[in-house]
Amino acid sequence: MMSTTVSRTPKTIRSAMSRSTPSTVTVFGQDLVAMLGTVNLGDFAYLELFKRLPDERESTLFNALVVTLVEHGVTPSAIAARMTYLGAPESLQGAVASGILGLGNTFVGTIEGAAKICQERLPQSGADRISADERMSDEQINALAEGIVAEYSTDKRMIPGLGHPVHKPVDPRAQKLLRLGRELGFDDSSSRLVEALSRIASERSGRVLPVNATGAIGALASTLGVPAHVARGLGVMARAIGLVGHLLEEKADPIATTVWNRIEAEVSES
Amino acid sequence: MMSTTVSRTPKTIRSAMSRSTPSTVTVFGQDLVAMLGTVNLGDFAYLELFKRLPDERESTLFNALVVTLVEHGVTPSAIAARMTYLGAPESLQGAVASGILGLGNTFVGTIEGAAKICQERLPQSGADRISADERMSDEQINALAEGIVAEYSTDKRMIPGLGHPVHKPVDPRAQKLLRLGRELGFDDSSSRLVEALSRIASERSGRVLPVNATGAIGALASTLGVPAHVARGLGVMARAIGLVGHLLEEKADPIATTVWNRIEAEVSES
Amino acid sequence: MMSTTVSRTPKTIRSAMSRSTPSTVTVFGQDLVAMLGTVNLGDFAYLELFKRLPDERESTLFNALVVTLVEHGVTPSAIAARMTYLGAPESLQGAVASGILGLGNTFVGTIEGAAKICQERLPQSGADRISADERMSDEQINALAEGIVAEYSTDKRMIPGLGHPVHKPVDPRAQKLLRLGRELGFDDSSSRLVEALSRIASERSGRVLPVNATGAIGALASTLGVPAHVARGLGVMARAIGLVGHLLEEKADPIATTVWNRIEAEVSES
Amino acid sequence: MMSTTVSRTPKTIRSAMSRSTPSTVTVFGQDLVAMLGTVNLGDFAYLELFKRLPDERESTLFNALVVTLVEHGVTPSAIAARMTYLGAPESLQGAVASGILGLGNTFVGTIEGAAKICQERLPQSGADRISADERMSDEQINALAEGIVAEYSTDKRMIPGLGHPVHKPVDPRAQKLLRLGRELGFDDSSSRLVEALSRIASERSGRVLPVNATGAIGALASTLGVPAHVARGLGVMARAIGLVGHLLEEKADPIATTVWNRIEAEVSES
């Protein structure tokens, strides 16, 4: 198959992420050894995404966003991980991977969707890149939201990041995250946009449609400058942690066999 | 298949991890909303493992251990993730899962191995559970290490957590972590044991066998009370973060096609 | 979270796939025990997809399609599987899963794309559902193909299933599969469509664009009645087999460490 | 990290699996194009494992073994795949991978265990490698089995491949497979060994312990010359097919949301 490779440009294999010498390790140019004991896991995750460490308020907001995503109880992702652990207890990594595989369009998709709206509809996004003069007025945000709600209504699509079966009339996590962003002094255009969408969509539909956790995370990730397509990555890194927790509980107080037995019994009676 | 299920005890499906009401979410009994903005990702990971938040020094040491594991350059795990991303760019979660699947016996195994030695050979392990009176003397630790080195030597097995192809005569990450544990005032029995193993194994073999990063992490995870079988989980949660970083770089500056082309060219010439 | 579940309709959990009694097992209503020794693996795969066993010519064509997909040398998917096996040799299933995860939009996508064109553009598709009167004439097929080529050209998109870096001027696998479909007496509308696309696209572009293996498989899977979204499943089941083969070779004659070392060396020099 | 790579022997990257020229593709030296239309999927799987095509009786037995493993109803592996598909419908390959990850020590392990007993305890194993003179007598097989049952009983371990919650007093699949092996004229030492184990273990324990499907597959895979560590691979390739079937059913008649809702409701009441 030589012709394949001859016709393709020979490229150098490079990576700027990490370097080692006998006495040093650097990650994105930072001295890893110096960071041990001073940088927390969330800040190091920020370094992996942004190639620099966060300042204090970026650290606070970023950690809050990912912490929100770690633990959501016995979700489909946690059920898959526990089922896999039952079959392959020798391979904790396989059970976590099994759970991560469910973090796709259905669940993490709403974070991505909310982030996309913020990043595509607002003239500028990304932390602090907007001067006070450039900030959109509430009237402008409202007009933008009116248009988006009308558009989604015409297409009979749900606006991502709104509504929750349990958390109403407000989702306390969303409320806290949005307040945190403001208290830390971040530009709140994205936050105002999702709040306007919630208000207008609720009025139009006559339903209670609060900004939910994924809507707030989508908006604030946009504020921090996380590209929409990486929103999924925030979920993946957070839930890897939560899934390890679920497997510890599964080992101590297992439910997988019971779930399986019940399903099998019901299927065989059908 | 009813007879199967009749003969198995019907069990309740329970989980103590998370609870929700319309206005609250708790994780292991802690108010999630109150933790947003105050608890970092590493401390939340500690909560998932220990069902309680860490105190300040536990937080410092635990975050240092997992941060050490996040980023190791273009490892087999990162190569697998990048190859998978080339084939399935629609599914970031699949590429991360692919990379996590390689965190098995070969690489994370040495952390487990070092942790097992500490947890099985030391009379008591786990943070602060040892009173000053019960601490093993250096003589006792040395005698223990002598026995272990002799045993592994007889079985012609490598002692896990010692030696590194690049980092010699010392692994700067291990050195930093071990020092950090002492500065924070943790019992250093596990640390002294891996250091004694390094010293004695180096003498016996005539080779340079420093405590490496996995050896230090195995020892200090034991100090914190992380069971050996969960050491693998520390690696999984840390590397999920690092793998997202690798996929961002792969998207911006891809290497997967070049690696593939070169392998294919070499295979077809063989 | 009770309100969630109360508001959702309680549904029965059913599956029509398999039933067991003490002395019998049936799969889609067929006696499994009777099939052992008479039904081959490809026919059983057909049963899983179509809920009935194939007749002889369906068996021949279906087996040929999936056999084509099993083995493609050291692809990105095989590289991922081998890298994962290096890290987690205790978990063959994890290494196969790692390889399967790369069977996404980039590679299996062209089968799906070709199948979609056949299934969306041809008035009727699916084996033998077309009477002789309803068959499209070559003129009609050509006109359809002209339109599709023009459309893709305007959008500057590649037509899926055409062209190959190595197999030119024809892809011998595609040629054989298309001939096989005709010899077995299947309606050849889908085959004529991809052949017309190849001819017209080659003329328009001045490039050599034969129907490749994925184009032929997309067309013939449509003839058999495999929905486009399941084309990916054909690739997944076939490559699971091929990946087991790669892991056997990796165990006997490993390449993963060499690939890793070379990448690491090149990265550290960059 | 140059020193790493310098110290490791530079090795050539080779693979004997597949070769391509513009007009040919070979797999293990066989002409792929010639095999399309004549070789079924099971025989091609045999080629991947044994580097040669099976003869007729090897084909019949091998296909029977893997067909037995394809479909077992709504198992933990199928539940994991369906849960993952709910979360990531864009990625069929991810859902199949999720299901494959559960094929570990618990379920596929009994095939491996039975194969290991046959391959380690019988003086020679592998198809037809035993001349009539060398065949073990029934007395010898019985004595061997007596020893194994005593050994497992002392260690309080279950003998792998015996007993079934539903299929009693015999497992019809095992019975059929063992008969098929004999009808095809294969050496039946492994079959006699698992049958002797069943008989003696049943007598000793007073329980009904038939050879089950995994026991028969472990024995007959040994007869065919499949190494015990590859038994797991037979399960993986077979279940990849079955899992695609489950995802088709899940798409048409979903159960994942119902399973999730019920678990969540029960957990929140606990």
Name the residue among C149, C226, C219, C213 with its Cα closest to residue C187. Answer: C219
Residues of chain A contacting D251 with CB distance shorter than 8 Å:
none
Among B241, B247, B264, which would you mutate to test the A interface (most chain A Cβ atoms within 10 Å of its Cβ)?
Answer: B241
Residues of chain A contacting C20 with CB distance shorter than 8 Å:
268
**Crossing angle for the helix pair D228-252 and C92-100, to the nearest 10 degrees:** 40
Hey, what amino acid is at A22?
A: P
Using pLDDT thresholds of 50, 70 and 90, give the confidence band for residue A267: very high
**Statement: residue B1 has pLDDT above 50:** no
Whether C28 has its CB under 8 Å from any CB of chain B: the answer is no
CB–CB of D245/C17 below 8 Å? yes
Using pLDDT thresholds of 50, 70 and 90, give the confidence band for residue C107: confident
Q: What is the pLDDT of residues B230-251, one digit of tens each?
A: 889 999 999 999 999 999 999 9
Choose the weakest-confidence range: A238-252, B3-17, B21-35.
Answer: B3-17
Using pLDDT thresholds of 50, 70 and 90, give the confidence band for residue C108: confident
Whether A252 has its CB under 8 Å from any CB of chain B: the answer is no
| Residue whose tokens read 């037509």 | C159
Residue B178: the pLDDT is: 98
Name the residue among C182, D231, B32 with its Cα closest to residue A66. Answer: B32
Q: Report CB contact under 8 Å: A263, D74.
A: yes
How close A175 gets to chain D, by Cα (Å)? 23
Using pLDDT thresholds of 50, 70 and 90, give the confidence band for residue A127: very low
Chains in touch with A (≥3 Cβ pairs < 8 A): B, C, D
Higher pLDDT, D106 or A125: D106
Whether C23 has its CB under 8 Å from any CB of chain B: the answer is no
DSSP string, D171-200: -HHHHHHHHHHHHTT---HHHHHHHHHHHH
**Cα–Cα dist D114/C37, whole Å:** 21
Across residues A236-262, what is the average pLDDT?
97
Among B35, B61, B237, B258, which would you mutate to test the A interface (most chain A Cβ atoms within 10 Å of its Cβ)?
Answer: B237
Chains in touch with C (≥3 Cβ pairs < 8 A): A, B, D
Q: Identify the helix (H) or strand (E) that includes residue B191.
A: helix B189-205
Q: Report CB contact under 8 Å: A93, C97.
A: no
By CA distance, what is C63's nearest residue in D? Answer: D40
Chains in touch with D (≥3 Cβ pairs < 8 A): A, B, C
Tell me the pLDDT of chain A averaged across its residues: 92
Using pLDDT thresholds of 50, 70 and 90, give the confidence band for residue D135: confident
Residues of chain B contacting C102 with CB distance shorter than 8 Å:
83-84, 86-88, 94, 98
Residue C148: the pLDDT is: 97
Quote the percentage of chain B above a pLDDT of 70: 92
**CB nearest D94 (choices: B12, B91, B267):** B91
Residue D5: the pLDDT is: 38
Residue D133: the pLDDT is: 64
CB–CB of D234/D69 below 8 Å? yes
Q: Report CB contact under 8 Å: B24, A172.
A: yes
Tell me the pLDDT of chain D averaged across its residues: 92
Q: Report CB contact under 8 Å: D1, B166.
A: yes
Name the residue among C189, C259, C260 with its Cα closest to residue C223. Answer: C189
By CA distance, what is A23's nearest residue in D? Answer: D1
How close D264 gets to chain A, by Cα (Å)? 6
| Beta pairing partners, B211 | B162
Residue A2: the pLDDT is: 30
**Crossing angle for the helix pair D189-205 and D172-183, to the nearest 10 degrees:** 150
Q: Report CB contact under 8 Å: C44, D59.
A: no
Report CA torsion sign: B79, B83, B84, B86. positive
Residue D4: the pLDDT is: 37
Residue C165: the pLDDT is: 87
Neighbours of D180 (CB within 10 A): 20
Residue C7: the pLDDT is: 42
Highest mean pLDDT among A54-63, A162-171, B17-26, D126-135: A54-63
Name the residue among B51, B61, B98 with its Cα closest to residue B76. Answer: B98
Residue B44: the pLDDT is: 98
**Statement: residue B124 has pLDDT above 70:** no
Report CA torsion sign: D212, D217, D223, D227. negative
Residue B109: the pLDDT is: 87
Whether B75 has its CB under 8 Å from any CB of chain C: the answer is yes
CB–CB of D103/C244 below 8 Å? no
Across residues B94-106, what is the average pLDDT?
97
CB–CB of C232/D239 below 8 Å? no
Residues of chain B contacting C25 with CB distance shorter than 8 Å:
none
Q: What is the pLDDT of residues B141-191, one digit of tens each?
A: 999 999 999 999 999 999 999 999 889 899 999 999 999 999 999 999 999
Chains in touch with B (≥3 Cβ pairs < 8 A): A, C, D
Residue A132: the pLDDT is: 60
Strands (E), chain A: 18-21, 24-27, 30-31
Whether C13 has its CB under 8 Å from any CB of chain A: the answer is yes
Residues of chain C contacting D93 with CB distance shorter than 8 Å:
100-104, 108, 232, 235-236
Q: Report CB contact under 8 Å: D101, A107.
A: no
**CB nearest A248 (choices: B102, B230, B269):** B230
Using pLDDT thresholds of 50, 70 and 90, give the confidence band for residue D132: low
Q: What is the pLDDT of residues D9-54, one digit of tens each?
A: 568 999 999 999 999 999 999 999 999 999 999 999 999 999 999 9
Using pLDDT thresholds of 50, 70 and 90, give the confidence band for residue D254: very high
Name the residue among B218, B248, B214 with its Cα closest to residue B230. Answer: B218
Q: What is the pLDDT of residues D108-124, one digit of tens each?
A: 889 999 999 999 999 86
Strands (E), chain D: 18-21, 24-27, 30-31
By CA distance, what is A233's nearest residue in B? Answer: B244
**Statement: residue A7 has pLDDT above 50:** no
Across residues A63-91, what is the average pLDDT?
97
**Statement: residue D208 has pLDDT above 80:** yes
